[in-house]
Amino acid sequence: MAMGVEIISRDTIKPSSPTPSHLKTYSLSFFDQLAPPIFVPILLFYTNTNTTTSTKCLKESLSKCLTKFYTLAGRIKDGIFVDCNDAGVDYLEAKVTNRSLSDVVANPNVDYLKQLLPCEPHTLESKSWSESPLLAVQVNRFQCGGVVIGMCISHKVADASSLSSFVNGWSCIARGDCDAVAPHFGLATLFPWIDYMDQEFEATDEGTKKGNKIVTKRFVFNASNIARLREKARDGSSMKPPTRVEVVSAFIWKRFMNSDRYSKSHPTSKSYSACHAVNLRKRRVPPLAEHGFGNMCIATTASLTTSDKDDDDEYCSLVSKIRGAIRGIDGEFVKKVESGDEWSLDYIKAEIMQACKGERVQINFSSWCKLGFYDADFGWGRPVWVTCTTVSLKNLVIMVDTRNGDGIEALVNMLEDDMVGFESDPELLALASEATTI
């Protein structure tokens, strides 16, 4: 039986105070320029809620929060700046009639989860930028008293770190603390739009083409299995052990290649790469503010070319490649990008173009671990679960902390046909659970 979600109200929430005239035009940065034109979804689940944080309180606190995060209430113009015109964000209230929150958490179903979002997290066409809100919120209330807050935010103005800053800023204001989060704007001053990148990198994703469907599967790696992967990745050196994200990424990359290598529709010898989004805020020297708003991530790529079958040493090699690629994005690299160093910019452009043209088989990783989404307390305590749903980009893996903080949930987006081979991999199933109760 399908989950019943009934929209009971639709509103537009505007900032509680008008945006000052000197802040009306917000320039997008170089990193905003590189961000894909999609909406990023997130869902926060709360149990045992009470009337302390009412609908009125949520609306009023959101309005106050938009005064601080004023760009989100504006509209993108000409693809290069935000007109901070206080047009507002979409706000929906819904009731869920035939499911309890605990049932949805214990038995995740992507199709059900998408009903809890205010819009489809689709690719945003350039021609509709001036018309589309940059943020939409849906507050879903369950008969059992549980609440799910679903959000979709435009990736052209925000990355996952910025989304976390907004979510936590809103929740703090809902609890009465209006000064807890102060976002910092101005990334375009440090990393301005680059005119010589004279084209938008349109997604050539098969998932956005008619007749192809992207599906999402959730794989949960608990602490003990992550420890097994870290032990397997040890190379006997005295170097610091690889991180949770590094070993899980390498494991998924290996299983992805294994399923792809034996696909009947593909040649047996190809170039494979794993692309990681790296948060630059703490890698810049000096570091940028924690709540610097906008896109401040850059993609780094680890590559492997082989026609051989898997061998026992390949996993360690993949961990090393991912680790080296991530650590290569250091303060010196950020400094070169900031100064407009031509080599750095050409390198970034070449990486994007190669991926867009499909010249290699690429899997993409975005880690939301340690970003603080589980700190978002609207007056109901910490969320019991934080997750997202299908994103219209194939071969994308979003990694989120489990609630206890020592595990990782990997949300894998793939074309439906490709997922069949991937999710049946015996080594994947041995280390990851797809139906773990949170």
296: closest CA among 371, 375, 356?
371
More confident residue, 342 or 188: 188
The pLDDT of residue 53: 64
Residue 280, pLDDT > 60, answer yes
Residue 123, pLDDT > 90, answer no
The pLDDT of residue 54: 77
In the predicted model, what is the mean pLDDT of the chain?
85
More confident residue, 314 or 364: 364
- What strand order describes the sheet that includes 39-46? 5-13, 89-96, 135-142, 147-154, 39-46, 385-387
- What whole-number percentage of the chain has pLDDT above 90? 55
Mean pLDDT of 239-265: 84
Are 71 and 65 contacting, i.e. CB atoms less than 8 angstroms apart?
no
The mean-pLDDT minimum among 13-17, 21-25, 192-196, 304-308 falls in 304-308
Are 51 and 380 contacting, i.e. CB atoms less than 8 angstroms apart?
no
Distance CA 377, CA 169 (A): 10
**Catalytic residue at 155?**
yes
Q: Which domains does the chain have, with CATH numbers?
A: 5-190 (3.30.559.10), 206-431 (3.30.559.10)
The pLDDT of residue 79: 83
**Catalytic residue at 313?**
no
Per-residue pLDDT reduced to its tens digit, 195-206: 755 445 444 444
Distance CA 48, CA 144 (A): 8
Confidence band for 124, pLDDT divided at 50, 70 and 90: low
The pLDDT of residue 426: 92
The pLDDT of residue 436: 41
Per-residue pLDDT reduced to its tens digit, 33-70: 888 888 999 999 999 776 556 788 999 999 999 999 99
Residue 399, pLDDT > 90, answer yes
Confidence band for 331, pLDDT divided at 50, 70 and 90: very high
- The one catalytic residue in 90, 155, 291, 418 is 155
Mean pLDDT of 290-319: 79
Dihedral sign computed on CA atoms, order 188, 191, 194, 197: negative
Per-residue pLDDT reduced to its tens digit, 225-248: 999 999 888 765 556 789 999 999
Mean pLDDT of 127-146: 86
